[in-house]
């Protein structure tokens, strides 16, 4: 996975066409790119992001942002109570406690 200006892209190999095909993740707009080499894919990804941002600017529209920092979360009342108690015991707000716990869990998941 590659990242640039807060955007991430996945890359797939098209063996028949003998190209690398990339797509920007986690936005509603479709931004793609293709290349023959990894270095070329990296450059095309960056070019695509720059072009996308410029195009949005020309249209007077806000570009999609991959992550807002807001994470809607629904759970059961029993889990809500448990989360509240755990956060209180840690001396944190629910948001601060969840951010810490989920960040640690995500880091472990990414690194395994």
Classify 85 as helix, strand or coil. helix
What mean pLDDT comes out for the span 42-71? 92
Write down the pLDDT at residue 72: 86
Share of the chain above pLDDT 70, in %: 100
What mean pLDDT comes out for the span 83-88? 95
Write down the pLDDT at residue 65: 87
Which residue from 68, 71, 76, 66 is spatially nearest to 98, judged by alpha carbons?
71
- State the average pLDDT for the chain: 93
What mean pLDDT comes out for the span 29-45? 96
Write down the pLDDT at residue 71: 82
∠ CA 62-66-67 to the nearest 5 degrees? 105
**Per residue in 9-20, pLDDT tens?**
999 999 999 999
């Amino acid at each position: 996975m590659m990242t640039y200006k807060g955007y991430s892209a996945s890359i797939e190999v098209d063996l028949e066409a003998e190209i690398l095909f990339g797509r920007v993740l986690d936005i509603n707009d479709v931004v793609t790119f293709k290349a023959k080499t990894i270095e070329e894919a990296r450059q095309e990804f960056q070019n695509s992001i720059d072009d996308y941002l410029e195009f949005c600017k020309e249209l007077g529209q806000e570009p999609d942002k991959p992550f807002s920092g807001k994470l809607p979360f629904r759970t059961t009342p029993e889990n809500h109570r448990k989360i509240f108690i755990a956060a209180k015991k840690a001396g944190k707000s629910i948001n601060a406690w969840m951010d810490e716990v989920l960040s640690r869990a995500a880091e472990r998941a990414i690194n395994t």
